[in-house]
Structure 1
Amino acid sequence: MQDLRIGIIGVGVMGADHAERVVRRISGARLVAVSDPDLPRANALAESLSRPAGIAEQTGAANGSGAIRVIGDPLDLIADAQVDAVIIASPGFAHAEQLMACLEHAKPVLCEKPLTMDTESSLRVVEAEHKLGKQLIQVGFMRRFDPEYAALKELLDSGELGRTLLLHNVHRNKTVPDTFRSEMIVRDSLVHEVDVARWLFDDEIAKITVHAPKPTGLVANGALDPQFAILEMASGAIADVEVFVNFQVGYEVRCEAVAEKGSATIGLGVDVLTKRAGQWGGVVPEDYRARFGTAYDIEVQRWVDATRRGEIDGPSAWDGYAAAAVCTAGIQSLQEGRPVEVEMARKSEVLG
């Protein structure tokens, strides 16, 4: 089977990381094109990752691909006959149009969260994909591929601890740009725990309350940071989430599941614990690329393998829609200071 020819839209931090991943660590795929409004950045990345034809065979590299093209218009990249599949790492406001184009050209796509910026456009994407009769969209909720989260999911599904009753989540970033506003904390950060809760409980979220405690004084943009969310599942179980995107220390993600017969915690960062000079401790990673690098590698490799089989192997467009619906309600809760019911279409009515 020929290598999957991948085009990447958006080569900021996440897109550039994916580009390097496809070229250096993913088998069965080649990076053939990138697109970004910042053409100098796109050209520099393409040049740094391109290999002259034949070098791959000489060095044994699995996916050296020759020159990587820079395509100015992302819609032209999607339509290009030399691109088999697309990774979307552009800003969320561009996702709806780009996803619709991928569906129009029958291009499998791995779309970084959010699926789209609101519930209505996310539902239109789900409906458009369903009309095709084939799943082409996978959403980049990479925590499902993290070995620690996967082990926790397996443990909870085994029933060894009885029914899962509560989830306690912590999501902290060292810092974010000044442009990262209060609503973005819900839509771009909390969204990960929204998907984690749906996945671990295997249930939908019925109600969300987002509290804004006293904000940190270490940022100047007036963002309501930290935030504390309570997610009420349809079954009656509850998940809580602390999101603090200007934590100053580093990137920290934890999850504790409390069940009838015990509890389980991941993200403690205790793989390497040192004692020296009268102190003990470990290292707090700078950002998500260090904490979830393995998860991203597994996610993209499994997406490539599944795409070559004509399938998806991860969160679907429906999962992206469900997360968007919860985050839309979460933003309303943050603005109005009250619990908000999550409004969602019935899955059976949309997908049959």
Structure 2
Amino acid sequence: MPDDPLRVGVVGVGVMGADHARRLAGRIANATLAAIADPDRDRAQELATQLGGVRVHADPLELIRDDGVDAVLLASPGSVHTEQLLACIERGTPVLCEKPLTMDSESSLQVIEAERAAGRSLIQVGFMRRFDPEYMRLKQLLDSGRWGRTLLLHQTHRNLTVPNPHFRSEMIVRDSLVHEVDCARFLLGEEIASVQVISPTPTRHALKGVVDPQVSIFRMASGAVVTNEVFVNSRTGYEVRCEAVAETGSAIIGRPSSGIYTTGVGPDGGEGTWGGGIDPDYRTRFERAYDIEVQAWVDASRRGELVGPTSWDGYASTVVCTAGMESLSTGAPVDVVLRAPVTRT
């Protein structure tokens, strides 16, 4: 492992990318924030000034080719990931890519094939829940076989609201449910065989024509069943929970807690309340998971290794979500078919 810190460039400094840039600048050991890139030059420059004057590129490909950058964290829109990932592979640069890997299965396979042809695994996909301490403990518990086979998972994913007026029904599948897809594959250690998306009556807070909440059902390769609720305009806060039901036991993670548990009459004299708050968004709920994820990626990159979700995991999740979007339009179950990549020489 080299003595010098890993020089990281961040591509895309919207909400997620800016959060990662601050993380790299202030909380990650053995790494330094070397550069940032964003088409919005003013936004990038403002962030760079806040973080001590790191280099700014308007063109992400310039950052990827920057000789002062050892590794890249991609927080750019998924529509541009293919080009940027291929550029990282061509240069031999380790990359942490926020989901999605790419927007469709064909381009995801193209990325996997390029990575395999290069002879080195370079891509870690940003499914941060795999690094969350509660998810890691649940994974260890299920893998131990203590309670026999895992038969069911029940997953809940709620957002306070989605201010983006372009966040349509399909995006709830592609951009939100994708986390439940990866968690099901991670916790159960197998692929999803089919997906069905059911459309309840939408909340009045949803945009016109948007199906929210959505309920989906995964049937796993072993026959295990996973139920998922995704509700992006819940108006209560950011809630992510998972219950695993095995043959002789069950476990729940993600329940809110506080230093003191209290109950009492509500402020209007109505139903009771408890004394804890609800996280406002994913950055608060999974802050520790993001810290662990990025630190693990930095440490592995300095060793020339890869940890965490791979490009294959990104591809598999894309295929499942594509099937989910098809099911959203029909209400019927859709089979998930994964294709093995063929490395081109």
2-structure distance, mates of 1:124, 1:271: 46
Q: TM-score, normalised by structure 1?
A: 0.92
> Hey, what does 1:28 align to over in structure 2?
30
Secondary structure of the residue aligned to 1:32 is strand
Residue of structure 2 aligned with 1:292, choices 258, 261, 286: 286
CA contact (8 A) 1:9 1:87 kept: yes
1-structure distance, mates of 2:11, 2:141: 37
> Hey, what does 2:317 align to over in structure 1?
323
Unmatched 5+ stretches in structure 2 = 266-272
Distance 1:80-1:194 versus aligned 2 partners, 3 A rule: same
**Aligned-residue offset at 1:229:** 0.6
Give RMSD over aligned pairs. 1.4
**Aligned-residue offset at 1:271:** 4.2
CA contact (8 A) 2:114 2:343 kept: no
Alignment of 1:142-221 (within 5 A): 142-176=128-162, 177-221=164-208
**Aligned-residue offset at 1:159:** 0.9
**Aligned-residue offset at 1:343:** 1.7
Query: Which digits, 9 at most, give the CA deviation of each residue in 1:199-240, with x for residues without a partner?
Result: 111000010001111111113342111111101111111111
> Hey, what does 1:345 align to over in structure 2?
339
CA contact (8 A) 1:178 1:221 kept: no
Q: TM-score, normalised by structure 2?
A: 0.94
2-structure distance, mates of 1:160, 1:290: 32
> Hey, what does 1:141 align to over in structure 2?
127
Distance 1:242-1:43 versus aligned 2 partners, 3 A rule: same
The letter for the 2-side match of 1:82 is G
Query: Which digits, 9 at most, give the CA deviation of each residue in 1:151-195, with x for residues without a partner?
Result: 100111111111111000000000112211111111110000100
Distance 1:148-1:221 versus aligned 2 partners, 3 A rule: same
Q: Determine whether 1:258 maps to 2:260.
A: no
The letter for the 2-side match of 1:296 is Y
> Hey, what does 2:222 align to over in structure 1?
235
The letter for the 1-side match of 2:155 is N
Identity of matched residues, % = 60
Residue of structure 1 aligned with 2:67, choices 68, 72, 81: 81
Secondary structure of the residue aligned to 1:94 is helix
**Aligned-residue offset at 1:277:** 6.0
The letter for the 2-side match of 1:217 is R
Query: Which digits, 9 at most, give the CA deviation of each residue in 1:87-106, with x for residues without a partner?
Result: 00011111111111111111
**Aligned-residue offset at 1:146:** 0.3
CA contact (8 A) 1:251 1:284 kept: yes
> Hey, what does 1:60 align to over in structure 2?
none
Residue of structure 2 aligned with 1:18, choices 3, 17, 20: 20
Query: Which digits, 9 at most, give the CA deviation of each residue in 1:127-149, with x for residues without a partner?
Result: 11011111000000000000000
2-structure distance, mates of 1:220, 1:302: 39
Residue of structure 2 aligned with 1:117, choices 84, 87, 103: 103
Residue of structure 2 aligned with 1:103, choices 89, 103, 111: 89
**Aligned-residue offset at 1:49:** 0.5
